[in-house]
Amino acid sequence: MNYSFAPQTKTYQSSAVRDILKVTQQGHVISFAGGLPAEDIFPLEQVKIAYEKVFASGNSSLQYGLTEGFKPLRDAIQTKMEPKGISSNPDNILITTGSQQVIDLFARIMLSEGDVVLTEDPTYLSALQVFRSYGAHVVAVKSDDHGMEPEDLKAKMEILRPKFVYIIPTFSNPDGKVWNNERRQNLLNLCYEYNVLVLEDDPYGDIQFHQDEEYHPVAAFDTYQSHVLYTSTFSKSVVPALRTGWVTGPIEVIRMMAQAKQMNDLHSSSIDQQALYYLLRDFNLTSHINLLRSEYYYRMTIMRDYLSKLGSDLFTWKEPKGGMFMWVEGCEQLNTTNLLSKAVDNGVAFVPGAPFYVDRPKNNTFRLNFSHSTPDMIKLGMDRLVEVLLPATTQV
């Protein structure tokens, strides 16, 4: 049978990252591809204890819950956001199946055919796919190391009247960038001026390597919670399998997203939400996050030292100040999409940079994840990677 899918499915494509994940899960490939956290330091015992507490609370723990999410967890999330300068309240918080669902639900309630979304370039490829699946026209704003450039941003707001701006301002995916405070404030000022919303995606904000530096989410500048939707997740700081994220922002927007979520899946797993509540209550998450920070920093330095040896004439990259990724640009002749199959044959995987670009992809870029592999595996994987990288740059 010839299935007549809706026209918007023409924009669908299986994410390159997921496809590679599928391949690398099966073999002996060391994968720097996915955005997976370190499995070896998951707080398994603490997670187990948290679930025991859920079941000890009785049969009602297994019943249907509210679309908005488990109230005590929303209370805990409010408290968790306070040190970041975000003042919220449980009614302004919606619990979701990871922050991916936030991106999708927000796009769903905001976008229709032909609407404009402004983004960084490169940016999270799955967000690009979501926006396009709702018919949006994604437009990249010129950026430097400190964030979006004010002139270009203002011009594009003025001319294109976007529905919203999507950003990952702190340890960005894929390029690890951190916006400075001036650029954050500037974005918000322009949003006030042109009445445009911001979707601030902050999955990596907790994983900060240098504690003497202070980063404030754009949401912290939005004193009256009127223009910023802030989303984060426990997938990176606790465990991904829980699939628990959240969004906070203007009550009208949160309510509309809750209605969309009701149609989408009624509510996310309430067993997981309750377990997370007990985990936040009884487990020292701060000390666990500190462990992640120092371990991920260490793993990054191993990868960095390999890249340093490659020579800055062939490869350029910046040392990330947090997060999970290194972003590398090779010499112009390098095509990392073509290189990937050779790398996988040699037992190592990365993500080519092209799909992270809005348009005009730089085919000589790639992303490396340093959080998932153990230090020994990073060394082995980088040995393998260098074996295919160097010939690729010198042959051409």
CB of 126 to a copy of itself, least distance (A): 7
- 310 to 127, 177, 333: CA distances (angstroms): 32, 22, 16
The residues with which 95 forms a beta bridge, in sequence order, are 246
Local structure of 200: helix, strand or coil:
strand
CB of 90 to a copy of itself, least distance (A): 14
Exactly one of 33, 95, 115, 322 binds a copy of itself (CB under 8 A); that residue is 115
Structure tokens at 185: 């404030």
Count of positions on this chain that bind a copy of itself (CB under 8 A): 83
Q: Does 374 bind a copy of itself (CB under 8 A)?
A: no
Alpha-carbon distance of 368 to 359, in angstroms, equals: 21
Q: Does 194 bind a copy of itself (CB under 8 A)?
A: no
Alpha-carbon distance of 267 to 97, in angstroms, equals: 9
Exactly one of 140, 167, 168, 239 binds a copy of itself (CB under 8 A); that residue is 239
CB of 252 to a copy of itself, least distance (A): 5
Exactly one of 79, 89, 112, 284 binds a copy of itself (CB under 8 A); that residue is 112
Positions in 286-315 near a copy of itself (CB under 8 A): none
The identity of residue 237, as a single letter, is S
Q: Does 241 bind a copy of itself (CB under 8 A)?
A: yes
Residue 67 or 143 having the CB closest to a copy of itself: 67
Q: Where are the beta strands (DSSP E) in the chain?
A: 30-31, 93-97, 116-119, 137-140, 143-144, 147-148, 164-167, 197-201, 228-233, 244-248, 316-317, 325-329, 348-349, 351-352, 365-369
Exactly one of 24, 88, 92, 100 binds a copy of itself (CB under 8 A); that residue is 100
Q: Does 6 bind a copy of itself (CB under 8 A)?
A: yes
Structure tokens at 69: 């999410």
Stretch that binds a copy of itself, among 52-60, 314-322, 341-349, 373-381 (CB under 8 A): 52-60
Residue 244 or 364 having the CB closest to a copy of itself: 244
CB of 264 to a copy of itself, least distance (A): 5
Q: Where are the beta strands (DSSP E) in 113-163?
A: 116-119, 137-140, 143-144, 147-148
Q: Does 109 bind a copy of itself (CB under 8 A)?
A: yes
Q: Does 13 bind a copy of itself (CB under 8 A)?
A: yes
Measured from the Cβ of residue 149, the count of other Cβ atoms closer than 10 Å reads 15
Residue 153 or 229 having the CB closest to a copy of itself: 229
- 370 to 7, 246, 286, 320, 325: CA distances (angstroms): 38, 25, 21, 11, 6
